[in-house]
């Protein structure tokens, strides 16, 4: 934060990725999330299977292993990943593009 590498952060709690990330995306921009990039912990697979829960409901209800989303410029992405990776798992799940919907989920999750 002190290096001004981040544009926004979203803590992913109830409401899932879309329900929380939409709060930090400005008008005219869309966070395009590639669901195939998510690294889903086994507990979420278990919950889905045992509860017979649809994927869209899982995404609305749980964070599916994504606890925090950091929004940075492409030019700072590698530096942010290096810094964050010192403390926890960090990987790209999408990009910011022009658009009217604040969050667009694309692709398929790999359960």
Task: Give the per-residue pLDDT at 94.
Answer: 98
The per-residue pLDDT for 3 is 72
Task: Report pLDDT digits (tens) over 62-103.
Answer: 999 999 999 999 999 999 999 999 999 999 999 999 999 999
Tens of pLDDT, residue by residue over 2-46, are 678 999 999 999 899 999 999 999 999 999 999 999 999 999 999
The domain locations on the chain are 6-106
CB-based burial, 4-33: b 16+ in 10 Å, e otherwise:
ebeeeebebeebbbbbbbeebbeeebbbbb
Domain 6-106 has CATH 3.20.20.370: no
Under 8 Å between Cβ of 109 and 35: yes
pTM of the model: 0.90
């Amino acid at each position: 934060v002190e290096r001004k590498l981040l544009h926004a952060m979203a803590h992913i709690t109830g409401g899932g990725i879309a329900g929380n990330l939409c709060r930090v995306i400005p008008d005219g921009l869309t966070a395009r999330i590639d669901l195939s990039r998510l690294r889903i912990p086994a507990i979420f697979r278990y919950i889905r299977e045992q509860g017979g829960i649809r994927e869209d409901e899982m995404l609305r209800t749980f964070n599916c292993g994504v606890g925090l989303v950091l929004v940075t410029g492409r030019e700072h992405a590698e530096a942010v990943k290096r810094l964050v990776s010192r403390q926890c798992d960090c990987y790209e799940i999408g990009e910011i593009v022009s658009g009217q919907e604040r969050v667009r989920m694309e692709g398929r999750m790999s359960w």
